[in-house]
Amino acid sequence: MSHRGHVLLGIVLRTCGLAAIYLMVLTSLDPGDIIIGLLLGLGIVLGLRARTVDHTDHAPLPVLLLASGRMLAGTLREMVVGTWRVVRFCLGGRAQPGFVEIPRGDRSHRGVALWGLLTGEAPDEYPVDVDDARGVLIVHLLHADDPDAVRERHRVARERTQRHLVP
């Protein structure tokens, strides 16, 4: 595939990814919402593309496609599991709400933004703050009884998907 074809495919994939996030937030598949999501996604992709200096992708196309699929599947899984936890809590189940600090690691500003967006999709987990001085991302959870497991889950998500899509 030529460089131009690769760039065009990247624009299309990013546009569709942003549209998918928009539709998940709306919980809608209405044709009008799909069109609006695609237009907003395209506008964001082109707007950000014009501001970046390096237009090269950091991973080969098959890796990007696999990472995108894993990210979508993982986010949907977290949404379902988080919804179940909230329902159990609302029906009288126990919870140990609290804050967990997750190491920022090598995430760029865009990587942190992606982390926050994906983390906030699950109703039992909410990104609260980014402490640049200490290099941690702070998240509030309905069940914070095992902070090491939470940190490991976020580390695995970063390694399997997010680092391939956004540095």
Stretches where the chain sits below pLDDT 70 are 1, 50-59, 61
Same domain as 81, residue 120:
yes
Same domain as 82, residue 50:
no
CA distance 85 to 91: 10
What are 110's two structure tokens? 């865009």
Query: What are the helix (H) ranges across 27-146?
Result: 31-51, 61-90, 109-119
pLDDT digits (tens, 9 = 90+) for 113-144: 888 988 998 999 999 999 999 999 999 999 99
**Number of domains forming the structure of the chain:** 2
85 Cβ contact partners less than 8 Å away, ≥ 6 residues apart = 95, 124, 142, 143
Structural domain span for residue 154: 61-167
Q: What is the pTM of this model?
A: 0.64
Structural domain ending residue among the three candidates 56, 72, 100: 56
| 59 bridge partner residues | none
Structural domain ending residue among the three candidates 56, 78, 101: 56
